[in-house]
Amino acid sequence: MAKHYAMAVVVAKCIGCQACTVACKFQNNVPEGQYRTKTPVVGPKGTFPNVSMYFLKEACQMCQDAPCVKVCPTKASHYNEAGVVLVDVDKCVGCKYCLTACPYDARFINKDTGAADKCTFCWEARVSQGQAPACVSTCVGGALVFGDEKDPNSEIAKLLSKNKGEVRKEEFGTRPSIYYIFQGVK
Ligand code: SF4
Ligand code: SF4
Ligand code: SF4
């Protein structure tokens, strides 16, 4: 069976330290002032005493039905052999169609390369070499779990079998591969 790499974010464990943000920039040489991932605060929401506030890691949602891939006129945006959405820098003409099409505001034009950029699941440097993504390895709170969700023995499959993973903007039909577990925060 083909693998399907996915990430689970256990929101209650995220302390908003931004270690993932920094690790990502370092690992992927992301230019100053640009980010593949950020973890902003959400809230406070509700009325006292029923108030909630948490940090939410944002990045490309690795859609399985990705609008960015559909609109790309040069096929620079594509799925690789493992179904990970990537950008071929040499094919990208910087038209920004994909930036507009992405419902998650996950893309930007890299100031150094002039090409569309976003989270790659650290494919080239880490995951294809058997390592976890930089943000996952660095997460202080242990809030990020990564792996093949089709492997029933993987940590992520076990986690998602016991906890409901929610996807962002489900109504867009993009079928994200990032699951948010909100147990204990809302
Ligand atoms: S989140 Fe945006 S950039 Fe990432 S795969 Fe989905 S549409 Fe493409
Ligand atoms: S900016 Fe690049 S990756 Fe995005 S749609 Fe245009 S050619 Fe494709
Ligand atoms: S998987 Fe890699 S590229 Fe994506 S947010 Fe984490 S560190 Fe950045």
Residue 57 belongs to some domain of the structure: yes
For atom 2 of ligand 2, the residue with the nearest CA is: 92
pLDDT at 1 over 70: no
Residue 51 belongs to some domain of the structure: yes
Q: Is the CB of 95 under 6 A from ligand 2?
A: yes
- Residue span of the structural domain in which 64 resides: 5-181
Residue 62 belongs to some domain of the structure: yes
Amino acid 49: pLDDT: 85
Among 24, 34, 27, 23, CA closest to 107: 34
Say how many Å lie between the CA of residue 37 and the centre of ligand 2.
Answer: 19
CA 67 – CA 172 distance, rounded (Å): 9
In one-letter notation, the amino acid at residue 118 is K
Among 179, 142, 174, 149, CA closest to 163: 179
CA 105 – CA 163 distance, rounded (Å): 27
Q: Mean of the pLDDT values across residues 47-72?
A: 95
Count of structural domains within the chain: 1
Q: Mean of the pLDDT values across residues 153-162?
A: 98
Residue 186 belongs to some domain of the structure: no
Residue 14 belongs to some domain of the structure: yes
Q: Mean of the pLDDT values across residues 79-93?
A: 96
- Which domain CATH number covers 44? 3.30.70.20
Confidence tier at 50 by pLDDT (50, 70, 90): confident
CA 110 – CA 30 distance, rounded (Å): 8
pLDDT 10s digits, 97-142: 999 999 999 999 999 999 999 999 999 999 999 999 999 999 998 9
Amino acid 8: pLDDT: 98
Amino acid 185: pLDDT: 86
Amino acid 137: pLDDT: 98
Q: What is the mean pLDDT of the chain?
A: 96
Q: Is the CB of 135 under 6 A from ligand 3?
A: yes
